[in-house]
Chain A
Amino acid sequence: MSHLPASQSATPMLRQIAERPTVRGALMRAPLPVKVFGALFVLGFLALNAGIAYVVIDGRLDGQWYDVRDLGVGVGALTDWMRDQGVPEVAVYLTSAIVGATGVLSLVGVWLIIGPWLERRAIAKFQVRMGPNRNGPFGLFQSLADAIKLMQKEVIIPRGADKILYFIPPVFIFVPALLGWAVVPWAPEMTYTDLDVGVLFTIAISSLGVLAVFLAGWASNNHYSLLGAMRTVAMMVSYEIPISLSLLSVAMLTSSMRLSEIVAWQSNYNVWMIVILPFAAFAFLFSSTAEINRTPNDIGEAESEIVAGFYTEYSGMKGGLFMAVELGNAILVGALMSTFFLGGYTMFGLETWIPGYLILLTKIMTVYLFFVWLRATLPRFRLDQLMGFAWKFLIPISMVQVFVVAIQASVLARVDAPGVFVLGSFAIINLSMTILLVRLWASRMSVSTIQQATKPILTQVVGGLRAAEQIRKPV
């Protein structure tokens, strides 16, 4: 209430809000030594960055083991050194595998602390409220507190549940969430395993999780769980197809299924795949939200309908594991989306300056925040609407897209040095084709399902049925 000074607000709650400490206020009130130390810290950080930039320009960093831009080089140097020392090949292999696995695990682990906090803070900003801000600086430790709480809680096995099957899914569902990271390239040398069938591997891994989901739904012996599992399975089966088709387009155009080569292709032509294949990117993103159970496609765990879906009966850390996997999958999808459609770890030459993994992390964050934005904005589809969207809309248009891309790929193979003109014409053709098809589909199929928004009629008349008919007549 602006007409009163904050301290004299009319109600205790308003006073409490007015007296809340702010970040700026806390900074201003900090004692002088803290301020001096903080300023020195910032200056030191800037100096360090300047030093790094100098070394990078100098070219002294290229290929050295301390090249921070590509941690893969360091690991390569280590394994070479071990081979020189006569360490058996098994140990060398194990060392590099363990280093890589530690990297992936620590990334996912750190994300499980930061991710929920980020999502809750961002959604709180959307929803004009504070979000977690009590536990640690800016509430950063809230996820830790939640994790501790979840671990302390009793794990209740419902009576009538299949005890063995009940224990498997929370563990099992973690496997694909971690395996998916294996093929993601973070920098030229920085891939856990650079499979030549990376795209196929991704598709295969992403459909593994559904087994755990169905197991969880079945073993819980609860109708909500079963409903959630059935919905999830139906949805995953449907949305695998648009994902596969859109990745097929990418693979055909780049004529490679290796993820690092797909990134290299985009970096080579200085173009992001989302520009050339806009519809494939949209189909991939939308289907991914269905795969990872996020709004607007979170029907597998629709809170207002089936409580928590397939993990309704999982309490304590078992339920926590399901939630953790969902978060992990969200950034995995972000990583795949960035790699396939947003140029991966490259950023038009910026990757020579800034480590590629930081660029990829930024892109992952962007995609993740996009998901958060969707979650804060959109209502949920109904199951039949979601299925209809996949089968009547995404899949047919993706099919047409695949045919067009096949022609483009053969053109690309016959052109010696495809430049701006060829790729630009591809982009224009694909974009106009997408718009045309979407409009065509909308006019042919969806008119009956898209409803008109009507405003209520304002009237001064009062009455019963006859008055109601009278009002409706002019319309």
Chain B
Amino acid sequence: MPASTEPYVLNIGPQHPSTHGVFRLRVVMDGEVIRDLDMIVGYLHRSMEKLAEERTYTQNIPFTDRADYLAAMSSNLGLALAAERLSGVVPTERSQYLRVIFAELQRIASHAMANGTLISDAGAWQTPLLYMFREREKILDLFEMTCGARLTTNYMRIGGVAFEPPPEFWPALQELVDELPERIDEYFELLTDNEIFLGRTRNVGVISAADAINGSLTGPALRGSGVPWDLRKAEPYCVYDRFNFDIPVGTNGDVYDRFMVRMEETKQSVAIIRQAMEQIPAGPHKNDIPLALRPEIGEIYSRVESPRGEIGFYLVSDGTPAPYRFHLRAPSMINLSLLRELGVGASLPDAVVTLGSLDIVVGEIDR
């Protein structure tokens, strides 16, 4: 007699160890296999875009901290660049380099977090996560030295950066940059050849290059599928065109490739920081701009490469100090949209690992 089975609804989240925040999945399952998958977001909605319309451009920078809270520097940079392009303010030369250094440090910290939680999702009981936290911790210490905050940095300003790093920052940064490649090699050694990890991540959550482009993925999720697209190279902002670095791209587009792309990107980031430290000129760290900056009437869409992908800011100015419209293109949101295609037909553990590899930040999705 064949066993009769019926699908059932499993509610994953909003409080679940592997949803990376308050994100909810409604999953229809048949045994261990997912038959349907529904993503429910909005638990962290703070009406950020509407609130931003009441504040000046500089006052809006702290909001971007809270959007992508694991990569505050990158979001800061995105808004600062957008406002500068809208108002025609030119940042100082030194601040450009400082921005690059901090954005790349943030990328390392964010990728460490992403990869650590991915391996935690794959079941390694937090050891790699805590190893990666060790490096992240040092980077956050550097942030704390410079701007007093570890997570919500609020560091970038229109026309420059908020503070000049203190004297002890540079030796500490040098020390970090010297030891990071060693550490990253250690992770490669620990994880890349691990048979169980390979078995869990190879050929799981495969996104083809065409699918990735059609789903308008960005960041490591796109590059993992083999598409060499990086805004730092394609559309250099700040002074990225003065540095020599490579774009790592995967071959299969599976979870493992996304993981490896992130690992390799941290190496490239270290190289960028090294070059920026050599080239950084002396000078003021910010321009004096009016407190209530009034850009000309107009609109702008400006984008930067955040650790999670293309974070874009669409600003409309009506000539007043506050933006008429403030919109954030959240890379996590758009990367997440492909989860349904990846999850349906996969087993629950595979779906969890796939979700981990997409590296979502719910603050950015819900805004």
Is the Cβ of A456 less than 8 Å from the Cβ of B249? yes
Size category of the B interface is 35 or more
Select A379's contact among B122, B234, B247, B348, beta carbons within 8 Å: B122
A sample of 28 inter-chain contacts (CB < 8 A) reads: A1-B141, A3-B171, A3-B172, A3-B175, A10-B141, A10-B166, A11-B144, A128-B130, A128-B131, A223-B11, A305-B18, A376-B127, A378-B196, A379-B119, A379-B123, A379-B124, A379-B197, A381-B123, A381-B199, A383-B347, A450-B199, A451-B199, A451-B202, A456-B261, A460-B247, A468-B225, A468-B249, A471-B226
Residues on B with C-beta less than 8 A from A137 are none
For A226, give the chain B residue with the smallest CB separation: B8
Is the Cβ of B248 less than 8 Å from the Cβ of A458? yes
Residues on B with C-beta less than 8 A from A2 are 175
Select A453's contact among B172, B192, B210, beta carbons within 8 Å: B192
**A124-154 at interface with B (beta carbon < 8 Å):** 126-129
B105-136 vs A, CB cutoff 8 Å, 1 = contact: the mask equals 00000000000000111111111001100100
A463–B126 alpha-carbon span in the complex (Å): 37
Is the Cβ of B352 less than 8 Å from the Cβ of A305? yes
Select A383's contact among B172, B234, B349, beta carbons within 8 Å: B349
Is the Cβ of A459 less than 8 Å from the Cβ of B247? yes
Select A456's contact among B134, B213, B264, beta carbons within 8 Å: B264
A13–B140 alpha-carbon span in the complex (Å): 11
B18-52 vs A, CB cutoff 8 Å, 1 = contact: the mask equals 10000000000101100000000000000000000
For A12, give the chain B residue with the smallest CB separation: B144
For B225, give the chain A residue with the smallest CB separation: A468
Please list the 3 inter-chain residue pairs (A to B) with the smallest Cβ-Cβ separation, ordered nearest first: A380-B123, A451-B202, A458-B246
B198 contacts chain A at the CB level, 8 A cutoff:
yes
**A430-469 at interface with B (beta carbon < 8 Å):** 449-465, 467-469
Select A465's contact among B31, B131, B213, B347, beta carbons within 8 Å: B213
Given A453-B193, A459-B249 in contact, is the A464-B17 Cβ separation under 8 Å? Answer: no
Is the Cβ of A456 less than 8 Å from the Cβ of B248? yes
B316 contacts chain A at the CB level, 8 A cutoff:
no
Is the Cβ of A10 less than 8 Å from the Cβ of B168? yes
Residues on A with C-beta less than 8 A from B246 are 458-460
Residues on A with C-beta less than 8 A from B264 are 455-456, 458
Residues on A with C-beta less than 8 A from B10 are 223-224, 227
Is the Cβ of B229 less than 8 Å from the Cβ of A464? yes
Given A380-B200, A455-B264, A456-B261 in contact, is the A375-B125 Cβ separation under 8 Å? Answer: yes
Is the Cβ of A304 less than 8 Å from the Cβ of B145? no
For B145, give the chain A residue with the smallest CB separation: A10
Is the Cβ of A467 less than 8 Å from the Cβ of B125? no
B276 contacts chain A at the CB level, 8 A cutoff:
no
A84 contacts chain B at the CB level, 8 A cutoff:
no
- Contacts A296-B123, A296-B196, A467-B227 aside, 7 further interface pairs with beta carbons under 8 A come to A123-B127, A127-B126, A127-B127, A455-B264, A456-B251, A472-B226, A472-B251
A461–B17 alpha-carbon span in the complex (Å): 39
Given A128-B131, A456-B249, A472-B251 in contact, is the A461-B228 Cβ separation under 8 Å? Answer: yes
Given A305-B349, A380-B200, A383-B347 in contact, is the A465-B210 Cβ separation under 8 Å? Answer: yes
Minimal beta-carbon separation of A404 from chain B (angstroms): 27
A451–B197 alpha-carbon span in the complex (Å): 10
Is the Cβ of B196 less than 8 Å from the Cβ of A381? yes
Residues on A with C-beta less than 8 A from B260 are 454-456
A458–B192 alpha-carbon span in the complex (Å): 17
Is the Cβ of A382 less than 8 Å from the Cβ of B349? yes
Is the Cβ of A129 less than 8 Å from the Cβ of B130? yes
A79 contacts chain B at the CB level, 8 A cutoff:
no
A287-324 vs B, CB cutoff 8 Å, 1 = contact: the mask equals 00000000110110011111100000000000000000
Given A450-B195, A462-B234, A467-B227 in contact, is the A4-B168 Cβ separation under 8 Å? Answer: yes
A386–B32 alpha-carbon span in the complex (Å): 14
Is the Cβ of A128 less than 8 Å from the Cβ of B123? no
B257 contacts chain A at the CB level, 8 A cutoff:
yes
Given A304-B352, A456-B260 in contact, is the A10-B172 Cβ separation under 8 Å? Answer: yes
A475 contacts chain B at the CB level, 8 A cutoff:
yes
A19 contacts chain B at the CB level, 8 A cutoff:
no
B209 contacts chain A at the CB level, 8 A cutoff:
yes
Residues on B with C-beta less than 8 A from A366 are none
Is the Cβ of A13 less than 8 Å from the Cβ of B144? yes
Residues on B with C-beta less than 8 A from A449 are 199
A129–B209 alpha-carbon span in the complex (Å): 40
Select B347's contact among A381, A384, A462, beta carbons within 8 Å: A384
Is the Cβ of B229 less than 8 Å from the Cβ of A463? yes
B366 contacts chain A at the CB level, 8 A cutoff:
no
A460–B247 alpha-carbon span in the complex (Å): 6
Is the Cβ of A379 less than 8 Å from the Cβ of B200? yes
Minimal beta-carbon separation of A401 from chain B (angstroms): 22
A377 contacts chain B at the CB level, 8 A cutoff:
yes
Residues on B with C-beta less than 8 A from A458 are 246-248, 264
**B81-120 at interface with A (beta carbon < 8 Å):** 119-120
Select B125's contact among A11, A123, A450, A459, beta carbons within 8 Å: A123
For B195, give the chain A residue with the smallest CB separation: A450
For B123, give the chain A residue with the smallest CB separation: A380
A14 contacts chain B at the CB level, 8 A cutoff:
yes
Residues on B with C-beta less than 8 A from A450 are 195, 198-199
Residues on A with C-beta less than 8 A from B32 are 227, 231, 383
Is the Cβ of A128 less than 8 Å from the Cβ of B229? no
Residues on A with C-beta less than 8 A from B247 are 458-462
B329 contacts chain A at the CB level, 8 A cutoff:
no
A460–B130 alpha-carbon span in the complex (Å): 33
The residue among A4, A383, A450, A465 with the most chain B CB atoms within 10 A of its own CB is A465
A2–B224 alpha-carbon span in the complex (Å): 37
A379–B26 alpha-carbon span in the complex (Å): 26
A469–B124 alpha-carbon span in the complex (Å): 35
B16 contacts chain A at the CB level, 8 A cutoff:
yes
Is the Cβ of B352 less than 8 Å from the Cβ of A460? no
Is the Cβ of A462 less than 8 Å from the Cβ of B229? yes
Minimal beta-carbon separation of A231 from chain B (angstroms): 8
For A467, give the chain B residue with the smallest CB separation: B228
A379–B199 alpha-carbon span in the complex (Å): 10
A382–B192 alpha-carbon span in the complex (Å): 18
Is the Cβ of A462 less than 8 Å from the Cβ of B127? no
B310 contacts chain A at the CB level, 8 A cutoff:
no
A457–B18 alpha-carbon span in the complex (Å): 29
A385 contacts chain B at the CB level, 8 A cutoff:
yes
Residues on A with C-beta less than 8 A from B192 are 453, 455
Minimal beta-carbon separation of B211 from chain A (angstroms): 11
A301–B9 alpha-carbon span in the complex (Å): 19
Residues on A with C-beta less than 8 A from B224 are 456
Given A128-B130, A465-B227 in contact, is the A304-B249 Cβ separation under 8 Å? Answer: no
A461–B249 alpha-carbon span in the complex (Å): 10
Is the Cβ of B124 less than 8 Å from the Cβ of A1? no
Residues on A with C-beta less than 8 A from B124 are 295, 377-380
For B198, give the chain A residue with the smallest CB separation: A451
The residue among A14, A381, A457 with the most chain B CB atoms within 10 A of its own CB is A457
Is the Cβ of B198 less than 8 Å from the Cβ of A453? yes
Minimal beta-carbon separation of A188 from chain B (angstroms): 39
Minimal beta-carbon separation of B268 from chain A (angstroms): 8
Residues on B with C-beta less than 8 A from A10 are 141, 144-145, 166, 168-169, 172
Residues on B with C-beta less than 8 A from A382 are 199-200, 347, 349-350
